[in-house]
Each structure stands twice: as structure tokens, then as C-alpha cells.
Chains A and B, each alone.
Chain A
């Protein structure tokens, strides 16, 4: 198995594989730091609670997606752009799938560790001395550092697997898959909205989901990732050059 060649395929352009996501993350962090500095400086005298309310308000801030965003695209480009080249270089589908899965796991681990370290520093320094939140947000989890590590690892791995599965299905069935996908998604959303409006038991069920613990949520993410992996691996074995 020439898995090393597949790993090299994904990582040969280091700036692209590691450089830009980290640069985007750093720039996004700088922007949040500047916002924090401005708020702390401007409101320091007049409103003592400003810092605390900013910290509270930033619980759902999505600046971390400057890092997570490019990683979401990684699953799509793996199948859309790297797979044709892998076939062109005489690598088998099995080798490509094994190597790419390894890269997915490695990527998820690498960035999960970075985010977890960032979170530890952020908490230890009181939001980098400004009370801001960048790493300690809803998407990465408010729990312990190891929970953030697990959560971001699973999240990143899942979005890459699902992205690869969607691209492979599109590769196989073309536009008709996309139509089916969006129609299916629209029906799910419609069903959800209808359930929330029309059904008291459904509202109760959703309410229970909202209060579900961290561990069950991780199970949900892992399940979605496992389904994505199963679909991707099943389809990639019969994927053809286009």
C-alpha cells in the first residue's frame, strides 16, 4: 500500500495544508483581540460591566471558523481535486481512501490540539488579558480542555468525512444527487418546523435534546461522522475518473 504517497499528495504543499489555516486563525484572533482592546479601553471608565458582558456575548462568536471553515472545505477538495490526480498517478482507490482517512485523522488531531492549547492559554490569561473569547466558545465546548480536544477532533473529522461523502456522491450521480440532497434537506427542515409548530410532544423532545449532556452530543457527532465515513468509503471504491 502506497499510503505514504497519498499522505504526501495532501501535504506536499505545506503552506496550503498547514500555513494558511493557521494564518487565517491568527488574523481572526488579532481582529477579536483588537475588538476586545477597543471595548475594554473605550468603556473602561463608564461601564464596569462591559468586559463581563462582552465575555458573555462572545460565547457564540464564530471567529474560530476562520480555522474551521477551510477545514470544512478540505473534505470537498480531497475528493474533488486530489482524487483525480491520485488516479492519474496510478494510485488505487483503496490506497487513496486509506491515505486520505489518515490525513483526515491527522488534520483533526493537529488542529484539535492547537485549539485546545489556545483554549488553555485563553482561560489562564483571562481572555488574553482582555476578557475576550476565541477558543472557548460554544462550537469548541465550554467544558474542560480535554473535552474541547475531543469535541473539536470529532467535529473536524466529521465535517471532512461528510464533505468527502457529499463530493463522492456528486461525482457519482452528478446534478441529480445535488437536487435530491437539497430536497431531502429541505424536507427535514420543513418537518422540523412543522413538528415545532404543530406537535407538543415534538417540542418536548427537542427541548430534551437541548438539555442533553456533553457525552450524548459527542455520540451524535461521532454517529454523523461514521455515516459519512461509511458512505464515502462505499462510494469511493467504485468512483471513476471523469
Chain B
């Protein structure tokens, strides 16, 4: 079953098209990555899917119905956003008490454990919390709510590497025991690459890539060797990036069946391309394409 379906979903503001004709389907009980550069439209998409803002055009179904003013859907949906504002006088314990009442599947024991592990000072005024401690509030709510559909929008801004690792561990452990649909938006792509089963990359409000991570492992390859050999190999292929140093060159190309063998036969070294590297290549190529309308569009594993 699909947890989220959108058709031509758009959100236009007077000065910008934050989201422009987005059509995606996200299956339930999976961890989806929603990636994109700053201003790509990730937060806007999640705000639309949780009924926080209204669409300019298009349609969406969340857990089988429109989320707009739909208490049945929204009570099953938890949206942890980086920019969440809290009343000035609130303390974390106030927010957690309200969240406990608002989410039907709330797990207090897990919340207590997370508060301890993330060392969240629950009785300190929120105004006095650090950026990382603010993020910890969101993480506690996002995990302890056990909502069938949970959105994490940059959930660990300001958290150190240890705390981020702890979040991934908790997320994976709790997800295994209580499968649910998770949409995770982050800039720390390499850190979460192993968690993600499916990825949607947005760029300038449009879907740049929509694919399972399994497919993406073979979507592009890195080749390196003598510049002349590399250039000969690149001829007729879609090049995402090429760099040269003296007589040597390396490049990232969209991979098709047999490309890996062909590269080795041409005497080139072949290396896998990480999700983060692929993301950088795709978004950079997209920006270059936008700047030069004649540049070819990428066709990496989009569906």
C-alpha cells in the first residue's frame, strides 16, 4: 500500500515556485529519503503533506485521504521540523506532555529513555536551550509518537556526531520493532545512506530523481585513468562530472549494463559512487542544465 501519493503537486508563492508539479508515490513501512539542496522544496512538500500549508495546484493522498484539515490523517502523522517554533515560556516537558496527549500511539517509556540519553533538560525554558537540545525535543517526539507516518525534516541540526549516531540507532531499532513509514530529509546523506530504502531528490521544486537505493548503487560509476582513455570512454555517455589533473582524469557517468566491464577493458579504474556523491553530481548537473538550456537532462534511474 502507498502511504503518500501526489499528482502534479505545486505550491507557488508570489516570488517563488517552491514546489512545481511534484508527482511521487511513497510505499508504506519504508524509510524514504527526501533530499535536495537548500530551497529545493523539501520542507514545503512536507508542510503540504501535513496540511500546514495549502497547495496551489495538484492533488495528494496521505494514508488514503487528503490531509487538509483531516484529524484522522493528521493524528496518524508526526512532522518534526527543524524550524518548529515553541511558545517563549514553554519548557520541553510542556511540549512532551502535549505530544503525549496528541499522538494515540505515544510510548512514554521510550520518551523517558530518549530524554535521558539525549540529556535533554526538560524543565529548562526552551528559549535557553541550545540548537542541539531543541533538535532533541523533536527527536523524542518523532520517535516516541510512533506515528504510522513520521516526517523528520533536518531532525538533528546542532547535534554532535555521537548524538546523531544515537538517533540513527534508535530510529532503526524502533522501526524494526514497530514498522512505519518514515520520510527523512537531511543534508548528512552519507550518514543515513544505509538507512534509506528509497530516495526522492528535489531540485528547484521539481523531482530530480525518484528511485530505490538498491537501483542507485548501480546508477552511476566513477572511472579514472589516463585522460585520453577516460575521454575516449566518455564519448557518447552521459557525464555527470569530469576532473583532470595533468595527464590523468576522473569522471562520474551514468551507468548502463556493460559500462563497468567496458571501463575496465579500456584500462580504467572503476569505483562505486556514493549516494552523497551522486546527489552532488545530479544537483550540480541540474544547475548547469538550467544555466545552459541546451545541456542534456539526466536520466539516472528516474521513474
User: If the complex has contacts A2-B75, A91-B102, are A238 and B54 also in contact, measured as CB distance less than 8 A?
Assistant: yes
Main secondary structure, interface of A, reads: helix
- Contact A92:B51 (CB < 8 A) given known A13-B90, A13-B91, A85-B87: yes
A-B contact pairs, 21 of them (CB 8 A): A1-B71, A2-B75, A4-B101, A8-B98, A81-B85, A81-B86, A85-B87, A85-B98, A87-B52, A88-B52, A88-B85, A89-B99, A89-B102, A90-B77, A90-B78, A90-B102, A90-B103, A91-B74, A92-B51, A240-B53, A240-B54
Q: Which of B47, B71, B94 contacts A2 (CB 8 A)?
A: B71
In the complex, chain B residues whose CB is within 8 Å of the CB of A215: none
Residue from A5, A16, A90 with most neighbouring chain B CB atoms (10 Å): A90
A234 → chain B closest CB, angstroms = 15
Docked complex: B14-60 residues within 8 A CB-CB of A: 47, 50-54
Question: Residues 57-99 of chain B: 1 if any A CB is under 8 Å from the residue's CB, otherwise 0?
Answer: 0000000000001110011011101001111111100110111
Q: Is the interface of B mostly helix, strand, loop or mixed?
A: loop
**Is A9 among interface residues, defined by CB-CB distance under 8 A?**
yes
| Bound Cα distance from A93 to B50, whole angstroms | 12
Of all chain A residues, which has the CB nearest B87? A81
Instruction: List the A residue with the shortest CB-CB distance to B86.
Output: A85
Q: Are B91 and A88 in contact (CB under 8 A)?
A: no
Please report the C-alpha to C-alpha distance between residue A5 and residue B97 in the assembled complex, in whole angstroms: 10
Total A-B Cβ pairs within 8 A = 75
A41 at the interface (CB under 8 A from B): no
Write out, one digit per residue, whether chain A residues 87-103 have a CB within 8 A of any chain B CB (1) or not (0): 11111111100000000
CA distance A85 to B102 in the complex (A): 12
What residues make up the interface of A, taking CB atoms closer than 8 Å to B? 1-2, 4-5, 8-9, 12-13, 16, 77, 81-82, 84-85, 87-95, 238, 240-241
Residues of B within 8 A of A92 (CB): 51, 69-71, 74
- Residue of A at shortest CB range from B84? A88
Closest residue of chain A to B99 (Cβ to Cβ) is: A89
Residue of B90, B98, B103 most packed against chain A (CB within 10 A) = B98
Interchain CB contact (< 8 A) of A5 among B77, B85, B90, B98: B98
Q: Whose C-beta in chain B lies nearest to the C-beta of A94?
A: B69
B85 to A, closest residue via Cβ: A84
Query: B53 to A241, Cβ gap below 8 A?
Result: yes
Q: A77-B87, A85-B87 are in contact. Are A13 and B94 (CB under 8 A)?
A: yes
Are the C-beta atoms of A85 and B95 separated by less than 8 Å?
Answer: yes
Residues on A with C-beta less than 8 A from B79 are 88, 90
Q: Tell me which residues across on chain B come within 8 A of A16, comparing CB atoms.
A: 89
Chain B neighbourhood of A238, CB < 8 A: 54
Partner of B94, one of A1, A12, A81, A94: A12
Cβ–Cβ contact B70 & A8, under 8 A: no
User: Bound complex: CA of A143 vs CA of B81, how far in Å?
Assistant: 52
| Cα-based distance from A241 to B52 in the complex (angstroms) | 5
Tell me which residues across on chain B come within 8 A of A12, comparing CB atoms: 90, 94, 97-98
**CB-CB < 8 A to B99: which residues of A?**
89
In the complex, chain A residues whose CB is within 8 Å of the CB of B89: 13, 16
Q: In whole angstroms, how far apart are the Cα atoms of A88 and B79 in the complex?
A: 6
Contacts of B94 in A (CB 8 A): 12-13
Task: Determine which of B47, B74, B85, B87 lies in contact with A90 in the assembled complex, contact meaning CB atoms within 8 Å.
Answer: B74
A12 to B52, CA, bound (A): 23
Distance in angstroms from B18 CB to nearest chain A CB is 12
Minimum distance in angstroms from A96 CB to a CB of chain B: 10
Q: What residues of chain A lie closer than 8 Å to B71, measured between beta carbons?
A: 1-2, 91-92, 95
Taking CB atoms, residues of chain A closer than 8 Å to B52 are 87-88, 240-241
Query: What residues of chain A lie closer than 8 Å to B147, measured between beta carbons?
Result: 90
Query: Knowing that A8-B97, A89-B102 are A-B contacts, what are 14 other residue pairs whose CB atoms are under 8 Å apart, sorted by A's residue number?
Result: A4-B101, A8-B98, A9-B98, A12-B90, A12-B97, A13-B94, A85-B87, A88-B79, A90-B75, A90-B79, A91-B102, A92-B69, A92-B74, A95-B71
